[in-house]
Amino acid sequence: MNRTVIRGGLVVTAAEEVHADVLVEGEKVVALASYGSGVAEGWTADRVLDARGLYVIPGGVDAHTHMELPFGGTSASDTFETGTRAAAWGGTTTIVDFAVQSVGSSLREGLDTWHAKAQGACAIDYGFHMILADVTEHSLKEMDLLVAEGVTSFKLFMAYPGVFYSDDGKILRAMQRGAENGGLIMMHAENGIAIDVLVEQALAAGKTDPRYHGEVRRELLEAEATHRAIKLAQVAGSPLYVVHVSAASAVAELAAARRQGLSVFGETCPQYLFLSTDNLAEPGFEGAKYVCSTPLRPREHQAELWKGLRTGDLQVVSTDHCPFCFSGQKELGRGDFSKIPNGLPGVENRMDLLHQAVVEGRISRRRWIEIACAAPARMFGLYPRKGTIAPGADADIVLYDPAARQTLSAATHHMNVDYSAYEGKEVTGKVRTVLSRGAVVIDDGAYLGRAGHGRYQPRATCQYLD
Ligand SMILES: [Zn+2]
């Protein structure tokens, strides 16, 4: 069996930091040996990776991506092939993408369609959540089958009436089912019915620029929906995971629920931590590049999100990677912000941006690994196969240079999209080498992986509830 030794690095996991050598056999980590123990001296290997001066960290787990998602008459511009390759460049070795149930179709049809898109295409490992767009007696029963085959989380929408939207009764039924079968309900918490009224009024008043996207999707309507989702989950006796939290008042709702002892979890994304309504207001039509939902908020909200990540009221940072090119896709909304496809590219940037937060003293190194690797793996039933470096874990490992400097740019990124949301931003820290299940997929500026290396990952149920 192929043996690799990673020598001389600082191994950082969510639990500890230790100077240690790591032995990989085939696809798995088999041993760690701390310096001076003498243990690693006896290791023979086919390949030695020199990690002196580098961090040795678990590959990132991005639990929220939308490769090839059909949305607003177009499709997200990254395929499973291009998107997972870009993820690897950025040190992410697992994604959990969203299979979509269309209204009138079964969960099975949706899941099969997404399997067909991803099969043979991915550079790194992948799993699926299921978007429940049509809660019926049949789809509720299907939830049980999906949980049994490793699709253990279901996303519902309080937004997008007529597309993905579920009313409170449907949400309650799905939560009740999740409480029984162990499926975790993920919620897009915005009051879409009220938002649509404000959209209509804004457009009628001639307010058509991208910045109005942020104005009509009011913070209060995120907080209200978050509160309502929490109460519905409480009634159903189910846990709840709120996706892409952007408003300070929504964080407060989560924090209050957690203080009551409820199993309520929250995710935020790099765009809410680093970008703001200032970007949405950029002149010309540039603001369209930053249109996503929930929307970017005024800069003051960032401090509350960082605080939530430090206190543990927010547990996960995912990207909600859903790229649309500025040219030809975002431009569909010229003259009507409501027609701008919702979504930002980011799957390649998450590990670096969160490391930058370590550099700036916002979070610790171990918290970086926790929110980007370990917690998403635990939340979605992939731990400890993913999200840590330990004997028995998959050898998804990143050698990370904490001192390298880089400038984020569309000119150098690998996502299939014609702009970067972080164009020109300088960050300290860069991926040197990436292993996916023992195979080197990125090394020193070269992509060595292949489409089809990535394998489907059936998942256990949420491991925060055990
Ligand atoms: Zn999403």
245 CA from centroid of ligand 1 (Å): 11
24 CA from centroid of ligand 1 (Å): 34
pLDDT of residue 144: 98
Helix, strand, coil percent content, the chain, rounded in steps of 5: 35, 25, 40
442 CA from centroid of ligand 1 (Å): 27
**pLDDT tens-place string over residues 317-361:** 999 999 999 999 999 999 999 999 999 999 999 999 999 999 999
- Residue 452 scores a pLDDT above 80: yes
**In one letter, which amino acid is 463?**
Q
- The encoded tokens of residue 163 equal 């597309």
122 CA from centroid of ligand 1 (Å): 19
| Average pLDDT estimate for 101-119 | 97
404 CA from centroid of ligand 1 (Å): 31
243 CA from centroid of ligand 1 (Å): 7
Question: Which positions ≥6 away from 174 have C-beta within 8 Å?
Answer: 132, 135, 140, 143, 154, 156, 166, 185
- ∠ CA 242-97-310, rounded to 5°: 40
Q: For residues 291 and 211, what is the distance between their CA atoms, to the nearest angstrom?
A: 8
155 CA from centroid of ligand 1 (Å): 9
277 CA from centroid of ligand 1 (Å): 19
The residues with which 23 forms a beta bridge, in sequence order, are: 5, 31
| Average pLDDT estimate for 132-142 | 97
pLDDT of residue 71: 87
DSSP state of 101: P
Are 417 and 346 in contact by the 8 Å Cβ rule? The answer is no
Are 138 and 170 in contact by the 8 Å Cβ rule? The answer is no
pLDDT of residue 29: 98
Would you say the C-alpha torsion 237, 110, 151, 70 has a positive or negative sign?
Answer: negative
The mean pLDDT value of the chain amounts to 97
**pLDDT tens-place string over residues 143-163:** 999 999 999 999 999 999 999
- Residue 115 scores a pLDDT above 90: yes
- Nearest CA-CA partner of 266 in 284, 253, 283, 278: 253
- Residue 72 scores a pLDDT above 90: no
Q: For residues 394 and 392, what is the distance between their CA atoms, to the nearest angstrom?
A: 7
Q: For residues 225 and 205, what is the distance between their CA atoms, to the nearest angstrom?
A: 26
Q: Where does the pLDDT of residue 73 fall: very low under 50, low under 70, confident under 90, or very high at 90 and above? A: confident
121 CA from centroid of ligand 1 (Å): 21
Angle in degrees, 0-180, between the axes of helices 107-118 and 137-148, rounded to the nearest 10: 40
**pLDDT tens-place string over residues 361-390:** 999 999 999 999 999 999 999 999 999 999
375 CA from centroid of ligand 1 (Å): 18
Distance of CA 423 to the CA centre of its chain: 20
Question: Which positions ≥6 away from 273 have C-beta within 8 Å?
Answer: 302, 305, 306, 317, 353, 357
Helices (H) and strands (E) counted in the chain, each on its own, are 14, 19
64 CA from centroid of ligand 1 (Å): 6
**pLDDT tens-place string over residues 186-197:** 999 999 999 999
281 CA from centroid of ligand 1 (Å): 22
Q: For residues 395 and 235, what is the distance between their CA atoms, to the nearest angstrom?
A: 41
pLDDT of residue 1: 77
- Residue 79 scores a pLDDT above 90: yes
67 CA from centroid of ligand 1 (Å): 10
Distance of CA 416 to the CA centre of its chain: 17
81 CA from centroid of ligand 1 (Å): 19
301 CA from centroid of ligand 1 (Å): 20
Give the predicted TM-score (pTM) of the model: 0.98
Are 166 and 172 in contact by the 8 Å Cβ rule? The answer is no
pLDDT of residue 407: 98
344 CA from centroid of ligand 1 (Å): 10
Q: How would you write 360-387 as a 3-class SS string? A: CCCCCHHHHHHHHHHHHHHHCCCCCCCC
128 CA from centroid of ligand 1 (Å): 12
200 CA from centroid of ligand 1 (Å): 23
pLDDT of residue 410: 98
45 CA from centroid of ligand 1 (Å): 42
Are 398 and 57 in contact by the 8 Å Cβ rule? The answer is yes
65 CA from centroid of ligand 1 (Å): 6
52 CA from centroid of ligand 1 (Å): 38
Q: Where does the pLDDT of residue 279 fall: very low under 50, low under 70, confident under 90, or very high at 90 and above? A: very high
Q: Where does the pLDDT of residue 208 fall: very low under 50, low under 70, confident under 90, or very high at 90 and above? A: very high
148 CA from centroid of ligand 1 (Å): 24
- Nearest CA-CA partner of 164 in 142, 141, 138, 187: 187
- The encoded tokens of residue 158 equal 């309080």
Strands (DSSP E) found in 318-445? 397-407, 426-436, 439-443
The per-residue DSSP string of 175-206 comes to: HHHHHHH-PEEEEE---HHHHHHHHHHHHHTT
209 CA from centroid of ligand 1 (Å): 23
pLDDT of residue 34: 94
| Average pLDDT estimate for 51-72 | 96
| Average pLDDT estimate for 433-442 | 98
Q: β-strand 28-34 against 17-25: which pairing, if any?
A: antiparallel
**pLDDT tens-place string over residues 85-98:** 999 999 999 999 99
Q: For residues 185 and 218, what is the distance between their CA atoms, to the nearest angstrom?
A: 23
47 CA from centroid of ligand 1 (Å): 39
63 CA from centroid of ligand 1 (Å): 10
Q: For residues 251 and 265, what is the distance between their CA atoms, to the nearest angstrom?
A: 10
| Average pLDDT estimate for 28-33 | 98
- Nearest CA-CA partner of 202 in 223, 216, 188: 216
- The encoded tokens of residue 176 equal 């009740």
Q: Where does the pLDDT of residue 466 fall: very low under 50, low under 70, confident under 90, or very high at 90 and above? A: confident
Residue 278, SS3?
Answer: helix
320 CA from centroid of ligand 1 (Å): 5
- Residue 433 scores a pLDDT above 90: yes
72 CA from centroid of ligand 1 (Å): 14
- Residue 181 scores a pLDDT above 90: yes
78 CA from centroid of ligand 1 (Å): 14
| Average pLDDT estimate for 267-287 | 97
452 CA from centroid of ligand 1 (Å): 24
pLDDT of residue 326: 98
